[in-house]
Structure 1
Amino acid sequence: MALDPYRRLLKIRGVPTLLLVGLLARVPSTATGMALTLHVAVVLELGYAKAGLITLASTIGMAVGSPLSGRLVDKHGLRPVLAVTTLAQAAFWACAWALPFPVLLVAAALAGLLALPVFSVIRQCLAAMVPVPQRRTGFALDSILVEVSYMTGPALAVFGITTLGSGVTMAVVGVGITAAGLGLIVLNPPTRSADEEAGRVEQGSGRLPRRQWFTPAFAALLGTVAAATFVLTASELALVATMTQAHQTAWVGLAVAVWCLYSLIGGLVYGGLSRGFTPLTLIGGMGLLTIPVGLAGGDWRWLIVALLPAGLLCAPSLSSTVDAVSGWVPAWARGEAMGFHGTALLIGGAASAPIAGAIIDGAGPAWAFTVAGLVGVAMVLAALPFWRRRPRGASSAPVEEAADVTLETPAPAPSTVS
């Protein structure tokens, strides 16, 4: 694996600090869902159905708020948006533990709407700070750090709720999110490069109409983003259900950890390659390789072996979509575009859970793997005509230059990137 691209990336002024702050800021954000779920289901003893309503309300709020906050960052700058969202999160988490369920439901939706946009902001700023030829490596490393935060945050939430209680845990989550917001305010990373700012001055300060960049091709890209998280969420549920049916629940944590490790390795390898691949190739490959996973049966050891090929494509698939967004959209609309990217991620995961759950209950977890993979492949095939008609001048990223070759004549590639 080539490490030179990572060394060059980390030599760029401000990038190591941005990635470190991004990792620390995302950990409390990834703990919020688990903290709220356990608080409602276990501490308040209201069951997982009502906990699911809280999660749904928060998810809807975030889906609406993500592009809205991105648009405000594009228009007013980073600090005002961070100040408002940080204050809103501090207020919510300071009192959430004491709210009755109906009030908590409304407050969770509002807190989702005003969520700290740490995921989209880090990606937007990374695109501004990293030269185009190195963005793929930057987004791959960022995707790996996101994986680490998701491995850490929910686990810490479970530990806190079960040992310290929901009041203390939710207060700690609030302090963490507030500290993350304040840290980003102090750091104030650029959302556009100096060249992008200069180009905007030359072209005038008027906003570019959304219809000029939110094209059918961009909508198709968002569809593939949603498909990727559909595949991942359904696979996770199917993995847990398969092992539960085989009475191997004790090994679920290890199996999920190994699966995450596959994604980390795949992301590292992908970021070090000399060229990238189109998201359609990676997401389509991940879908195809997910279809037969259910054939491994209930033995957790065979199951994690079967997950290896698709698992290696998790981080590359998601990072390639971020790379495509950054290359397709003008810099002064990048925040809103990254917000739509975040919304697509949420929609894919939210749609996957009930569908996969129904398949698991009706036909068994093996079929959930199959359907998840087929959905990913079907979305890629649906997006392909729009992708080929995308504006040729929309992308400045090398991955897109290679994309046409990959789509027209699939070339042999290492197994880690399909």
Structure 2
Amino acid sequence: MSGVVLTLHVVGALDEGYGRAGVVAASLTVGLAVGAPWRGRLVDRLGLRRAVLPSVAVESAVWLAAPHLDYVGLIAVVFVGGLFLVPVFSVVRQSLSVLVPPAQQKAAFALDSVATELTFMLGPVLGVLLVTGGSSVLALTVVGVATVGGGALLLWADPPTRSASGAATPAAGPAGRVVTPRLLVVLLAAVAAAFVIVGTDVSLVAALNDAGRPQDVGWMVALWAGGSLVGGLLHGISPRQPAPLVLVALLALATLPAAFADGRGALAVAVVIAGLPCAPVLASINATLVRLVPEERRGEVMGWGGTMQTVGNALGAPLCGVVIDRAGAGAGFATAAVVGGAVAVVGLVVVALAGRRRAHGGGVPVVTDVVTAPVRDLREDPARR
């Protein structure tokens, strides 16, 4: 909700343009990108309650002040808000990796992605309703209450982020290294997936604006998220585990038909198709990240995963926007698909070459295991359990 509400507040209540509203959104994004690994690392080192309590206190002050600040003050405060944002996503996924048996974690992470899709369907709509039916000050206050309330709920529930036995899982890399080729490949998948998703978002809005139907954005985005929700449920019940880079390539391929959609009906069908792989991609990335690192570093690494998705957003939105300005919305969809797909394919090729070199004694660490291994049934592989 925060992005759309901040934009409407800057444009409406502060009487600034959309360009200056973008600066506020960028300030929040930079804060999120910098703060996510740091907040996750604090959870690893200090435990959930000691790490989250300062976030709750800072977020309370940020969102209490934000509705009443001028433009410059708002830029500074939302950066602090992003920096100290309660690490809900990383904590939930850390906790799932502890509470859910390994054989069922794919389904759990898929359900997590489906729940996230529901928030992206409902949050912006609720934000717009609060602004239009009340005011942007009211909407920003609701954002603050929800943010602080989520943090308070985590403090109360205190879900486990470590195994009860206290036994840490082994590090993925040699000599206990956490930053390994495997991890870097998954983070690359996170960048590519975010690039495709944000490029699709920008292109969809542009396509409807160009067609003179901006009022259709809401239900078109809901269709897109609905496709993702269905894909996430199907991914969760399937025993097969496609690798993150494979799913990113599939996401890019599913996005391509939107570039050639002619008319609202065709575009509606295309965005549903484009949405189907979204939740599976994110679920696969999160499930793989928690398997690649020891428990005592999961919060930090999940934070890095969020940062890489932020990087993908920061790259995809302006690049696709420039292409749309020059060649239209269809070219924006195509750019999102081609660039994201190319990154996935290059990653797959590099991994395959590295694995082949390792097989011939070249000494390059194998990065194929949980990152790009052939699709298999998890229940038939004891090593995965």
TM-score using structure 1 length: 0.83
- Structure 2 spans left out of the alignment, 5+ residues: 356-364, 377-385
C-alpha contact 1:326 1:334 (8 A) present in aligned 2: yes
Distance 1:293 1:172, change over 3 A: closer
| Aligned: 1:230 with 2:199 | no
Q: Deviations over 1:2-32 (max 9, x none)?
A: xxxxxxxxxxxxxxxxxxxxxxxxxxxxx22
Shift of residue 168, structure 1, vs aligned partner: 2.2
**2:333 & 2:289 partners in 1: Cα distance?**
28
Contact 1:259–1:307 (8 Å) recurs in 2: yes
User: Given that residues 66 and 339 in structure 1 are in contact (C-alpha distance below 8 angstroms), is that contact kept between their aligned partners in structure 2?
Assistant: yes
> In the alignment, residue 286 of structure 1 is paired with which amino acid?
L
Deviation at 1:386, TM superposition (A): 5.1
Would the aligned equivalents of 2:59 and 2:147 in 1 still touch at CA under 8 Å?
yes
Mapping of residues 226-375 of structure 1, within 5 Å: 226-297=191-262, 299-375=263-339
**Which residue is equivalent to 1:376?**
340
Change beyond 3 A, Cα 1:225–1:52: same
- Residue 393 of structure 1 and its aligned partner are, at CA, apart by 9.7
Aligned residue pairs total 365
Change (3 A) 1:385 1:210: farther
Compute the displacement of 1:211 (Å). 7.9
Q: Which amino acid aligns with 1:108?
A: V
Aligned pairs (5 A) from 1:24-35: 31-35=1-5
1:6 counterpart residue number: none
* Candidates 76, 83, 98, aligned match of 1:113: 83
Rounded to whole Å, the distance in 1 between the matches of 2:305 and 2:74 is 27
RMSD value over aligned CA atoms? 2.3
Q: Percent identity?
A: 37
**2:133 corresponds to which of 163, 170, 177:** 163
Whole-angstrom CA distance in 2 between matches of 1:111 and 1:346: 15
Q: Which runs of 5+ in 1 are unaligned?
A: 1-30, 408-418
CA contact (8 A) 1:251 1:300 kept: no
Q: CA offset at residue 163 of structure 1? A: 1.8
Work out which of the residue numbers 45, 58, 62 in structure 2 matches 1:75. Answer: 45
Structure 2 CA distance for partners of 1:363 and 1:394, relative to 1, 3 Å: closer
Give the distance between the partners of 2:62 and 2:215, measured in 1 at CA. Answer: 35
Secondary structure in structure 2 of the residue aligned to 1:307: helix
Q: What residue identity is the alignment partner of 2:62?
A: F
Structure 2 letter corresponding to 1:214: V
Inter-CA distance 393–252: structure 2 relative to 1 (3 Å threshold):
closer
Deviation, 1:247, is 2.1
Letter in 1 for 2:196: V
Q: Hey, what's the Cα distance between the residues in 2 that align with 1:289 and 1:157?
A: 29
Cα distance change, pair 244–132 in 1 and its aligned pair in 2 (3 A):
same
TM-score w.r.t. the length of structure 2 is 0.89
Q: Distance in 2 between matches of 1:387 and 1:263?
A: 28
Moved over 3 A (4+): 208-211, 385-395
